[in-house]
Chain A
Amino acid sequence: MSENLSIVYVIFAFFSLGATLGLFTRGQKYHTYFTYVPSAFASFLTIVLSIAIFSSENIHLTFFNIQHLFDFEIFIDGVAAFFLLIIGLISFAVSIYSLSYSKKFDDKKNNSALGMLFNVFIISMILVVISNNVFFFLVFWELMSLTSFFLVIYEHENKNNLKSGLTYLVMAHLGTGFIFASFILMYTQTGSFSFDSFRDVAIIPQYIKDIAFVLAFVGFGTKAGMVPLHTWLPKAHPSAPSNVSALMSAVMLKIAIYGIVRYLFDFNAIDSSPDYVWLGVGIIAIGSISALVGILYALVENDIKRALAFSSIENVGIIFIGLGLSVVFAAFHLMSLSVLAFIASMFHTLNHSIFKGLLFMTAGSIHFSTHTKNMEDLGGLIKKMPWTAMMFLIGSIAIIGLPPLNGFIGEWLTLQSLLAVFQIPSNILQVSLAFAILTFALTIGLAGATFVRLFGITFLSKSRSSKAINAVEVPRLMLIGKAILASSCVLLGILPFIGINLIVSAFDLSYTPSSPFEAISITNTVDSNFASLLMSGVLVIFISVLVGIFAFVRIVGGKTKTIKYGTWDCGFGSLSEKTQYTATSLTEPIRRIFGIFYKPNNDIDVNFYAKENLYLKKSINVISTTRNIFDEKLYGKVISGSLFVLDKIRKIQSGKVNAYILYIMITLIALLLFVGFGTHE
């Protein structure tokens, strides 16, 4: 216990060191090393700490005790340690990546601020996870929101970044407001700001817990990017420098998931009674909608980082589906299925951190080397940046849930828990949850299309602009950062029990850990094998089939030549980078089918040589646009509505002193009346 505690101190010391050195070594030759080496080391220690917590006891400590409001309590249990592991792993890889990546800003601007904020951002996330008191939780939560806000507007020369930063700031505080309300509500019942009192089952009446949970869910959900409160996410995440986008998407969203998990399973927001079915179904519904909407907009986005941000919304949706199922199963006392759904959800949380961190770093590498994020300007990068392409390919295969990588395990577990809904003893629920399968399947399909497009247009075929032609492979340190996460994808995919055992021990689930080489196996009601999966076995089959077919082709086919020649052009000989498919044209059929979400519009402008002759066309201009109906229909209305109300309120502020004195008078009288009536009762 004491060693673990000293690790905590060392972690803070190193992050602070990184932050300070970052600020004071401005302009030095090796300043990136001064900033990011301490953060890498501290992140590594965070991984060590979380693994130490899994195997030993929890840390529970109160630091100072001024009033009960300001107790600084830290509590690191398995739940916190699991999220610390996520923070540590991603921050470690991103820190190494940043060593080279932050050189991108060397000439242009104050690089030291980036380093400092980077360190403070990570430390604030760690502090949110380990604090055990409302006051400090909110302080660190706010610190996390503000540092990330400053990081979002780091490249403030671009006006769009400022705009998205503002959206982020408003939405983040909306979320914080809900969390705050929820905590205050809990406080009114327990009379204590410590989370320990929230854990007490007996004190708080259940309906208060319900309201508090819904408030907290909205608050944390805003931070996690659930639809319809997601609008800030695809704006803010891509605006930040890519190392920070990686942290925001891969880690910060998970801090919000942490909040929801704490509420659900630690503060006993739910109970094993059918009263909680609505809660679970609600979470599943929001999760399904988030998943579908997120991936639908990711599919038509031409900015790589924005597409990745939209896909984060999708993955948060999948995590929510798992969590919701876990609640529904628990409500019907199907405890083993509840555990299965919970493992699925947490496994996907871990997975998403890994591959989204990887993908954002790769997107950053593309930007680093080509100075553009627009897919229509890219292409052919696989020849220029082979290693980056490999990493992006691994990340893509993982995120769309294809075997044999970790994404497949997460989605397999989620699907298995969805398929198990036939065990729920309620017909209406079964049929309505079948719709969740429908949306989930559609999401998987669309995710596949999204990443075919992202990888295919960016890395394959001919380069579409000089930016892509002049691209070179990124420095080695950036590749190492990505390789750490790419290899975790492979490892967790082939030996999924490493992840599952981790989750089981972190959350203290009633499930016996197995050896990594065993099959994941689910039995049905009559105890025969419902489903099982052994990824190392799949790998063995892969290799043996490959060896077999290779031998067959060599024996039957013999030695043949391979000739390089131009792509078949029907004999016209005019293939250029303009004749190949573009990012926009690739999704044309899907855009048409899901037209209600996109409202696709083609503006065709034809110029003729002569007005009389409509056959000789000089030029044809097509502008193809899609629209975001959420931004337009929902937020447009909300914004115009609130502007209208605010405009009315502004009339109160007349600027005349006597009017203000009148307001003070009215307030005073109102207060006096309030106090007077209050004492009577």
Chain B
Amino acid sequence: MSDFSILGYGLGILQALLIIVLSPLIVGIMRKIKAKSQKRIGSGIFQPYCDIIKLLRKDEIVSDQSSWIFRATPWINFVTTASAAFFIPVFLVYSPFGVVGDILLVVGLFALGRFFTMLAGLDVASSFGGLGSSREMMISVLVEPALFMTIFVIASFYGGTNISTIVSSANDTSILIVPGILFALIAFFIIMMAETGKLPFDNPSTHLELTMIHEAMVLEYSGKSLALMEWSHAIKQMILFTLFIDIFFPWNFAEQISLVGISFGIIIFIVKVSTLASFTAFIETRIAKWRLFRVSDLIAMAISSSMIGVIFFFL
């Protein structure tokens, strides 16, 4: 577990890079599946990569009302989300950077990115940005208790908030289907949908700005900044997916550093994460966006589900 060699750190960086690099692919897969289930052909699964590269090469238009906050936000957003990727085990049961931060730090880093995104939404002096920030504010306020309760359940079960500890003890545990964890899974799934702006919380592909949340905040972005914003959103989604499978489906991790183990681990990881992505995308095509004030009911469900998890743990 405590292998602090250069190889160890190299593998840690490789894990983070896998998340960062593969994240647009997952977006592409999800779009493809959505298109297929809507009887469309859809663009190829590598389209998000082309989008990012294309956007990086484009000129930018910046609102004359905006300040440095608007221009710094994409960078801050990318740095916080990509830094969070360093703490997530991908194919190993641990992350060599585990000693630096735990799941609470990951939550904090996401919150820092979101803080700046909300400010950027307000910065451009348009009502769309304010609208997005206002709604994001509401959802983030409500998601926070659900998230911390879920973390509480998981930390109590697996003896730690350190993600490496959680994953390695989850990997060691033979019985995974315990009621507490099952309820935490339900809660975490709802949180994941809310945090990544999925239906029924948010519909990023709508043509009406009035129904958007995340997209309304980033409406003014173009060029490089937009590329960074989209990419960091993809990374955030990837991190949450990875955390989900790390915590709830911790099978076939590489426990020792060996070439076979690692390549097997990577393949298993890609299979697991694409399955989860397909499942999420499939769910998304089955439901419509909910009215904004009904969203709180869904989050209340997540809170109560994690609360039941807590009670199951202590019984």
Within 8 A of A (CB), among B157-173: 159-162, 164-165, 169
Interface flags for B14-56 (1: CB within 8 Å of A; 0: not) read 0000000000000000000000000000000000000001001
Which residues of A lie under 8 Å from residue B134 when comparing CB positions? Answer: 581, 585-589
**In the complex, which of the residues A416, A427, A545 has the most CB atoms of chain B within 10 Å of its own CB atom?**
A545
Question: Do residues A564 and B64 form an inter-chain contact, with CB atoms below 8 A?
Answer: yes
Complex Cα–Cα for A453 and B57 (A): 34
Q: Are A562 and B60 in contact (CB under 8 A)?
A: yes
A549 proximity list for chain B (CB < 8 A) = 75, 78-79, 82, 228
Chain B residues with Cβ under 8 A from A331's Cβ?
none
Bound together, the chains give a CA A589 to CA B148 distance in angstroms of 22
Stretch at the interface among B100-108, B251-259, B263-271: B100-108
Query: Of all chain A residues, which has the CB nearest B58?
Result: A560
- Residue B199 interfacial (CB < 8 Å): no
Is B161's CB under 8 angstroms from A531's CB?
yes
Say yes or no: A444 contacts B69, CB within 8 Å. no
Tell me which residues from 121 to 155 in chain B have a Cβ below 8 Å from any Cβ of chain A: 122-131, 133-135, 137-138, 140-145, 147-149, 151-152, 155
Closest A-chain residue to B139, C-beta based? A589
- Known A-B contacts A434-B310, A533-B100, A586-B133; the reply to A442 vs B144 at CB < 8 A is yes
Bound Cα distance from A456 to B98, whole angstroms: 34
Contacts of A519 in B (CB 8 A): 99-100
Q: Which residues in chain A, 452-496, are within 8 Å of chain B measured between CB atoms?
A: 452-453, 455-457, 459-462
List, in ascending order, chain A residues with CB within 8 A of B101's CB. Answer: 532-534, 537-538
Give the bracket for the number of chain B residues in contact with chain A: 35 or more
Residues in A neighbouring B64, C-beta threshold 8 A: 564-567
Nearest-Cβ distance from residue B201 to partner chain A, whole angstroms = 13
Nearest CB in chain B to that of A550: its residue: B75
B115 engages A538 (CB within 8 Å) = no
- Contact among A528, A575, A588 with B126 in the assembled complex (CB-CB below 8 Å): A575
Question: Does A508 reach chain B (CB closer than 8 Å)?
Answer: no
Chain B's interface: helix, strand, loop or mixed, by majority? helix
Question: Within 8 Å CB of A446, what residues of B?
Answer: 141
Are A415 and B220 in contact, CB atoms less than 8 angstroms apart? Answer: no
CB <8 Å contact, B65 and A456: no
Taking a contact as CB atoms under 8 Å apart, the answer to whether B115 and A593 are in contact is: no
Interface members, chain B 68-93 (any A CB < 8 Å): 68-69, 75, 78-80, 82-83, 86
Contact B292 A589 (CB under 8 A): yes
Question: Could you say which residues of chain B place their CB within 8 Å of the CB of A532?
Answer: 98-102, 162
Shortest distance between the CB of A487 and any CB in chain B (Å): 19
Closest to A558 in B: B57
Chain A residues with a Cβ closer than 8 Å to the other chain, count = 87
Interface of A: prevailing SS: helix
Chain B contacts with A in 283-315, Cβ cutoff 8 A? 292-293, 296, 303, 307, 310-311, 313-315
Q: For residue B71, which residue of chain A has the nearest CB?
A: A562
A638: interface (CB < 8 Å) = no
A82 to chain B, nearest CB (A): 26
Instruction: Tell me the minimal C-beta distance from A44 to chain B in angstroms.
Output: 33
Contacts of A553 in B (CB 8 A): 56, 224, 227-228
A440 touches B148 (CB 8 A): yes
Q: Are B160 and A530 in contact (CB under 8 A)?
A: yes
Bound Cα distance from A128 to B21, whole angstroms: 59
From residue 403 to 434 of chain A, which have CB atoms closer than 8 A to chain B? 403, 408, 412, 415-416, 418-419, 422, 427, 430-431, 434
Q: Find the A residue at minimum CB distance from B2.
A: A529
What's the Cα separation between A85 and B219 when bound, in Å? Answer: 47
- B3 at the A/B interface (Cβ < 8 Å)? no
A: residues with CB less than 8 A from B are 380, 382-383, 397, 400-403, 408, 412, 415-416, 418-419, 422, 427, 430-431, 434, 437-442, 444-446, 448-449, 451-453, 455-457, 459-462, 519, 521, 524-526, 528-534, 537-538, 541-542, 545-546, 549-550, 553, 556-558, 560-569, 575, 577, 579-581, 585-590, 592-593
Name 14 A/B residue pairs within 8 A (Cβ), A-sorted: A382-B68, A412-B105, A438-B148, A448-B141, A449-B138, A452-B119, A460-B119, A532-B99, A532-B102, A553-B227, A562-B59, A562-B61, A567-B124, A586-B130
